[in-house]
Every structure is written in structure tokens, then in C-alpha cells.
Chain A
């Protein structure tokens, strides 16, 4: 499936005389940014459906009160693995895949700066997830302490415990290498004339994301390593009986965890900032404000971590500090939403699938932002903490935020990648089914949380039955609708209508739209002209 676009590209781009390796060697020894990007995206898609399968099992068990399908321990493994697979396997690799495909093209570079490192950072991932997923087969089954892995609970698990730790280490190494590559590429390989403030926002947001990754993935590695030595070598970092502190793990984990949240969403801000102007036929409103807002969010992400821990017994002064710093995030985030709104204002809008997903992103991410603001208020958080209100909140920002942004990006750039257009009607069906059933799935979870249902429970009191049933129905429908996505990509690659010229979308701006479609295997072997860069940077 993934090989097609490139053989096509080779056949049709006359100027492209490169001899690329064929067969399995092309993928295993891949150094081309487009090939590696494709592998990341395919891997992410497989993980999306793996994590989605776990989610369907969770929703099936929660369909009605009582235990019908799985034992309580297995249920905990399902929620844990769902979180880990979706975060580290689906969302993050999808962004690295899009970065690989688009960053060199968008800054006028021939490839990523460190192609062999690029190969390594991808090929670590399948092994990391093989290790993680095979923990289902060991005695005691998969890790069941939540994706947040809090000790002492996580220290209670048997054979799966070291598998979890080493899988996290491998994912961390992969992310760090990928991030280094992005930073080096953007800092060194920009075409002459592509100044920092002419870069597309997707490149900007990824640059900032890459710095976040380099800063916090080692922190996570440190936290899980301390847990590893607690388990096997008799240390007591997190063991109260040995003089350690279980809360210290939470501080370290969330010092990683909160920037991690922005790692998943910032590139999404970038994608939306490309798509909204393209389909409004108008340059992005407040380009520089967008860049500064992104940087502010990244900075603030380092000083808000304890808002995940308001109930652990922090002193009043700490609660106040983290409440105020968290509320501040609403300001740059608001600036972004206002800028997108102003970009549409007095535009000439059309509603192709990328724009539909981008609009859903803005509406639904904003709703997630509202519940985030409510969660920042400590007294109210005492009620919300660890309930379905939180589950609803982070799915609004991660599914209708990050995942919708990834889909929007794929629908936007797919014609450029393969030189063919997908089935618009089917893509609109995918959009409407996703957008509607997403809300059927997650909106009622706000009610459940406020009414008193804690998260991560396999069974519940009967007053929660109604909304759980609604949520589960939404979940099944949302999950099944996603099957349309790989199907229509496959159909597009095989038999989509050919895209003529360089621009697949009338309003699209940027260097990627100066290249032929499909983008040649080696693009920008000669740098783009000043005129091309200026056209792309109309803001």
C-alpha cells in the first residue's frame, strides 16, 4: 500500500533519476525522509487501531453495570495499555511521520539532516511496542497501574513490570533521536531566504515541540529507572518504608507529563494554522502572535505540572502557585483560537475534508480548553480530580484535538504525497461520523464525572448506567467509523483521481505546493527560488 506513491512518483517525475533500493531493503535501510515518514504514519495507524481495540473492550465492559466480559485486573490492563499505546504509539509517531514528510519540503531542504539517525529512531519503535504488547502474554498479564505508572501500585506487578520500563526507555530514545533530527534540520537546512519568521507554522510548532521532547523524555527515563532500581536493586526512591517518597514520582512524572501533553498538541496547532488560511483563501491572522503564543505555552508547560496532583496534599502556597500558572495558559491558547477565528473572518470559505476536521478541531479543542480552565480551579478540582470529567477533558483535547489535527493534516497533504485525490464524499462521511459520534462518546462523560463516577473502574453504581450506555454506543460507532480512514487512503493510493499541477487546493500556500504532485522522491535538490519562498510566506 505504502509503496505505490513512490513508484508512481518515480515513473512520472522525469527529472527524478534517483535509483532507490527496491523491495524490503528500501524500508529496512530507509534513509529517505518520505519513506521514513510513510513508515511512521503506517505504524501509527496500526497502533491507533490496536489502542482503539482496547478502548472498545473498555466501552463494552462499561456498557452496563456488572462485570460481563473481563476480570477487574484485565480491565485495568486495558485502560493502561490503551493510554500507553495511543500516546506513545499512535499520536507521537504520527506527528514524527508528518514532520518527516513535511518539514524538509516546507523549508526547502533535500532531506532530514541526519538520515541514518532517522532510520534508527523509527526502527526502535516496532521493537518497543512488540515488547510492550507482548506483556499481555506473561504471567500476571499486562501492566495495570495506569499509563501514569504511579508507584507503589506499579511496583506490585510481576513479569510485565520490567517489560514496561524497557519499552518506555526505547520509546524515549526514539523520541529524543527524532526530536534532535528535527531541531538540526530546521536550524541548518533551511533554504537561503527561508528565515525563521518566514517558516510555516507547522515547522515552528514542531521546532518548539522538539525542544520540549529533548527536555522531558530524559526526565521520564529517569523516573522509570528509579522505579526499576526500587523493584530489583533494593533502592527506596519511592518506597516510604525505606525513607522514600511515592509523591516524588508524581512530581517527576508530571514534570515530563505536562510538557508531553503539549508535545501532542502543538504540532496540531501548526497543522490547523496551515489549513484554516488555505480554505479561507486568506493569510493567517497574527502569524507572529501565533509563534509567540506557541513559545509561551511551551514555557508555561514546565511550571504547571502539579495541577495533576492537587489532591496529594500540597501546601496552600503550592496549590495557589500551580492554580495561577495553569490559568495563565488560557491566555496564549485563547490568542490562538481568536487568531484562527479572525483568519476565517471575511474569508471565502469552502469546506473540504481538511477544513472540516480543522473546524471540528477548533470547536472541540476549545471545549476541552474550557473544561481545562475549570480543572485549574483547585477547589473545583477537588471534585473533578480522577473522575470521568477529567477523562472527558483530555479526550476532547487529545482525540478531537491531536487526532483530528493529524487526520486534517493527512487529508490536506495526501494529494501532495501520492499525486492523487481521495474520495471526497467518503472523507466527508468519515468526518461527520467521527465528529458526531465523538461527542456522543465523550460529552456524556462530563455528566458522569460531575455526578461522581471515578475513572479507571470496571463496574459502577447503577445511577451511572444510562450515560455509560450512551457513551459506549458512541464509542462503538466512533471506532467503527475510523475504519473508513485507512480504506479511503488505500483507495486513493490505488485509484484516486490524478491531481494536476502543483497545488491540490486553490488556497494552499507554502513550499510544498511549489513541488509537482506527487512530490518527487528527492525534492529540493536545488533550493527553491526567492519568489517561491516569498509566495509561501505571505503573512
Chain B
């Protein structure tokens, strides 16, 4: 009985659209103080390990499959919305209520697409799950709020917490601009140091509540759970020494947002020297944390 009335004039449409476009364009630019933000930060990192590259390619495959299906399905819908309308004088074809052939097709094709996606995903998963033949074991213990790293059999062990500068700036109404702190909330006092080109296995556990160890560039995330020892592994490309940052991914209380993870990947020789220095320092002062 109630026909659709054109509630909003085209002029209003244009203004809304213009405002929206302006908002999207201007805002990221406005707050832009680090070159990494806004439009430069839309997707997963490719990362620096074989795992992260596998994950990235699975992610992109899934993304493009979704985009293509989306274009097809939304295309048909938009076609109907534009052309099969009463305002264009379309008369409903009320006999179009069932079509077994079409229904079989649109059940079977998705199954085939899913199989096509499941194969690379399962293959990637099998590779990621293989943590055998590790060349270095590090035990990672989450606690409220920080991480303890123990180099198994190397006599090196230390605690890694949020750096003091971030800590000070992160207080409620601290008056310190987060932009003035290098790597705000993503910096620690003692980073995890690992060699490149080496299969490093992590043995993850926690002492109080559940935490989760995540560094996007390494492509792994694994929960650290009291009473469990979970394993995960990564091997930083030999050509990609550097500093890689992440943070705890499982809600673990007030300090959840304040337990970053920093991984410093050194060349094999530099790592060896670092490890010897650390082991010697720990022998001199047993139990003391040092970098």
C-alpha cells in the first residue's frame, strides 16, 4: 500500500558521498606522523620466514577468491536492484521459484572452490606443524605482564618487559605524547635474540593466565597456557637480519596491551658472540637478567 517515496534528494546523496570520501582521504593523512600508518597499512606483512610467506600466499588466495565470488554475486544482486524494479515497470516473474539444475550447480561449484582452497591450506598447515630438527630451543614463559626467555642448554635466561619510556607515556593522562616515544608499546628492555638461517623452536608456557606469543613478521601465533608446553618454530631468512615486533594476543588482564615482543635476528656469527657474552655474564651474576 505504501509506495517507496524518494526520501532523500540527489543533492543530499552527493554531499554525503563527498563528506565520506573526504573523511577517508583526510583522516589518515591528518594524523600521519609515521610513514607506516593509514593507507600504507592495509594488509598482512609478507614477513621474513617461510611460514609467513606461506601464510601470506594462502591469505591472498582466499582474499581473491572472495573478491571474485563477491563481484559475481553482488553483481547479480545489483543488476536486480537496478533493473528489476517496479519504478522501471518490471513485472515479477512469479513462476521463478525453483530450479533443481541451478540449485545443484550452486551447491557443487562452491564445494569445488572450497576443495581448491583447502588443499594449499592443509599443505601449509602440515609444513607449519613440523617442528622437528630444531637447531635452537627457547623456552618462552608468559606472565602478568612480560615474557621470560630461556635458551635451553645454553645457560642464558632473561625477562623481557615493556620498555620504561613506553611505560611512562602509557599512564592515564601521562602528558607524554605516544608519538615522541620510539616504537611506543612495541619496545622491550631485553629483546629475544635469535640467529638468522636457523630453525628456532619455541616451547611456550605460562605461569598465571593464558597469554599468546605473536610476531606477525614471523607468521606464527601460539598460546602460552599454564600446565601446557606448546611448540612453535620459525626460521628467519638468512638475508633478513633485523628487529621484528609483536605483542601478546590473548587477553591476560590489565597489562594485556603492555606486553610486547621484540625479536632481534642477528647473523649467525653475531649471535654466537652474543650468546657467549650472555652466558659469561650470567655465570658471573647467577640469576640476574642482562642483555
A residues bordering B, Cβ < 8 Å? 64-68, 70-73, 76, 144-146, 150, 152-153, 156, 240-241, 244-247, 280-287, 289, 311-313, 316, 319-320, 323-324, 327-328, 330-331, 334-335, 337-338, 341-342, 344-352, 359, 362-363, 366-367, 370-371, 373-374, 377-380, 382-383, 385-387, 421, 424-425, 428-429, 432, 436, 440, 447, 450-452, 454-467, 469-470, 473, 499-501, 503-506, 539
Contact = CB atoms under 8 A, between A and B. Distances in A.
Contacts of B86: 281, 348-350
Interface in B86-110: 86-87, 90-94, 96-99, 102-103, 106-107, 110
A345 B227 contact: no
A153 B27 contact: no
Contact of B225 (A156, A313, A324, A459): A313
B126 A316 contact: yes
A463 B5 CA distance: 45
B253 interface: yes
A344 B77 contact: yes
A280 B70 CA distance: 22
Interface stretch (B42-50, B148-156, B268-276): B42-50
5 contacts: A244-B227, A282-B96, A346-B93, A374-B59, A464-B41
A319 B43 CA distance: 25
Interface in B8-27: 8, 16, 20, 23-24, 27
Interface in B192-209: 208-209
Given A311-B223, A462-B184, A363 B77 contact: yes
Interface string B207-248: 011101010100111110111101100000000000000111
Contacts of B189: none
A379 B58 contact: yes
Contact of A313 (B43, B63, B222): B222
Contacts of B58: 377, 379-380
Nearest to B78: A363
A106 B143 CA distance: 56
Interface residues of B, number: 114
A152 B170 CA distance: 26
A539 B34 contact: no
A341 B228 contact: no
A294 B73 CA distance: 20
Contacts of B76: 341, 345
Contact of B85 (A328, A349, A506): A349
B132 interface: no
Contacts of B169: 66
A113 to B, nearest CB: 32
B288 interface: no
B227 A382 contact: no
A255 to B, nearest CB: 18
Nearest to A312: B223
B4 interface: yes
B3 to A, nearest CB: 7
B225 A246 contact: yes
Contact of A450 (B42, B118, B251): B42
